[in-house]
């Protein structure tokens, strides 16, 4: 069986991580970092996630797998339809990552801005 964690990283400053987030990160075999295509300035978001891993975990204690996801289209469909379509596409990428990059018995994680139970759509996507 594979186990997936959604780890809230707050506003993204590595200094603001909770002890619980750090302790959960230490249980993880593979971290999945998603990179949005087509959005300038988003490379900093990936850089911050990598900095968090480097700061709090021992080198070689985990793997990092990255994948590119499309930016949500902002025209054409209604906002709700656009978000729904984008989340379906994101779910396909996440599903493929978990199937192809994790072995049975391993744990994986996504580092999520803020609190994953309140704002981010990963919970809905992973259901």
Structural domain boundaries of the chain?
A: 3-126
Assigned CATH class of 3-126:
alpha beta
Helix (H) or strand (E) run with residue 32 in it: strand 30-36
Annotate 49-113 with DSSP letters as a single string.
HHHHHHHHS-TTSSEEEEEEEPPPP-SSS-HHHHHHHHHHHHHHHHHHHHHHH--TT-EEEEEES
Predicted TM-score of the model (pTM) = 0.82
Report pLDDT digits (tens) over 3-43: 999 999 988 789 999 999 999 999 999 999 988 765 555 56
Report pLDDT digits (tens) over 77-106: 677 777 777 778 888 889 999 999 999 999
Q: 45 falls in which pLDDT band (50, 70, 90)? A: confident
């Amino acid at each position: 069986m594979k186990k997936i964690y959604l780890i809230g990283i707050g506003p993204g400053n590595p200094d603001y991580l909770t002890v619980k987030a750090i302790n959960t990160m230490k249980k993880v075999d593979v971290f999945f970092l998603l990179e949005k295509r087509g959005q300038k300035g988003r490379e900093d978001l990936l850089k911050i996630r990598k900095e968090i891993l480097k700061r709090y975990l021992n080198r070689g204690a985990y793997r990092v797998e990255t994948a590119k996801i499309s930016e949500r289209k902002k025209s054409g469909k209604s906002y709700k339809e656009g978000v729904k379509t984008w989340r379906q596409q994101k779910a396909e990428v996440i599903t493929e990552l978990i199937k192809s990059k994790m072995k049975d018995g391993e744990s994986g994680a996504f580092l999520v801005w803020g609190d994953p139970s309140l704002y981010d759509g990963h919970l809905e996507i992973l259901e």
